[in-house]
Amino acid sequence: MSEHIHDATNVTNPEHAEHHIVSPLEYTVVFVTLLLCTALTVFAATLDLGVFNPIVALAIASFKGVIVILFFMHVKYQSNLIKMTVGAGFFTFLVLITMTLSDYISRAWGLW
């Protein structure tokens, strides 16, 4: 029998995660990447990519958002609970967007 109380709910140290301190170097790399992506998105907007313009713009913005979340907001080094929470938030946001869109898109299909 171990010395300490069996902590079935792991409240004291969730997933025994060591508290990781993100270094200034990592932050700087992310920072520079973000600036480059900003320049890239402006540049891409000047090109005529037709229907791909908004797709590229949103893809770059999503990438920027993801690296801010993972590194500036430390989520990469946090517990699974935090990761799932972030996921749940964006999932619900997507539900709002797509399911409401389902009405607007299909209105134009006419009555049967």
Partner 1 sequence: MKEHDNSILRLPDQATAQVPKKNFITAEDGLMSWLLTGDHKRIAMLYLFSITFFFFIGGAFAGLIRLELLTPMPDLVASDTYNKLFTMHGVIMVFLFLVPSVPATLGNFLIPIMLGARDLAFPKINLLSWYLYIIGGTLTLTALVLGGVDTGWTFTTPLSTHYLNTHVVTTATAIFIAGFSSIFTGLNFIVTIHRMRCPGMTWFRMPLFVWAHYAASILMVLGTPVLAIAIVLVALERTIGIGVFDPTKGGDPLLFQHLFWFYSHPAVYIMILPGMGVISEVISTFSRKRVFGYTAVAFSSVAIALFGFFVWEHHMFIMGVSNYSALVFSLLTMLVAVPSAIKIFNWAFTLQKGSITFETPMLYAFGFMGLFTIGGLTGVFLGSLGMDIQLTETYFIVAHFHFVMVGGMLMAFLSGVHFWWPKMTGRMYPEALSKLAAVVTFIGFNLTFLPQFILGYLGMPRRYHSYPPEFQILNVMSTAGATVLGIGYLMPVIYLAWSLKYGAVAGDNPWQATGLEWQIQSPPLTENFTEIPIMDHEAYDYEWLEHKTAHEVTTVG
Partner 2 sequence: MDSATVNPQAEHDSAKHHHVSLPQHRHHFETEEQQREAGSFGMWLFLLTEIMFFGGMFFAYLLYRNWYYDAFVAASNTLNVKMGAANTAILITSGFFMALGVWAAEVRKKNLLVLFLILTTVFGCAFLGVKYFEYKEKFELHHVPGNSFDVSQFINPPLNAQGNATRPPLPPDMAQKTQLFFFLYFAMTGMHALHMIIGIVLLFWLMGRAQRGEFTEGYVAPIENFGLYWHFVDIVWIFLFPLLYLINLHPLAH
Interface contacts to partner 2, rule CB under 8 A: 2-5, 11-14, 19, 21-24, 27-28, 30-31, 34-35, 38-39, 41-42, 45-46, 48, 50, 53-54, 57-58, 60-61, 64-65, 68-69, 71-74, 78-79, 81-82, 85-86, 88-90, 92-93, 96-97, 100-101, 104
Provide the phi-psi class of 4: left if phi over 0, else alpha when psi is between -120 and 50, else beta: beta
Window contacting partner 1 (CB under 8 A); options: 30-38, 44-52, 61-69, 88-96? 88-96
Nearest to 64 by CA among 72, 75, 55, 53: 72
Across 21-93, where does the E strand assignment appear?
none
CA 97 to chain centre: 16
Least CB distance to partner 1 at residue 93 (A)? 9
Number of alpha carbons in the 13 Å side-chain half-sphere of residue 71: 18
Provide the phi-psi class of 27: left if phi over 0, else alpha when psi is between -120 and 50, else beta: alpha
User: Whose Cβ is closer to partner 2: residue 60's or residue 111's?
Assistant: 60
Least CB distance to partner 1 at residue 86 (A)? 13
Residues at the site binding partner 1, with contacts judged by CB under 8 A = 5-9, 11, 14, 81, 88-89, 92, 95-96, 99-100, 102-107, 109, 111-112
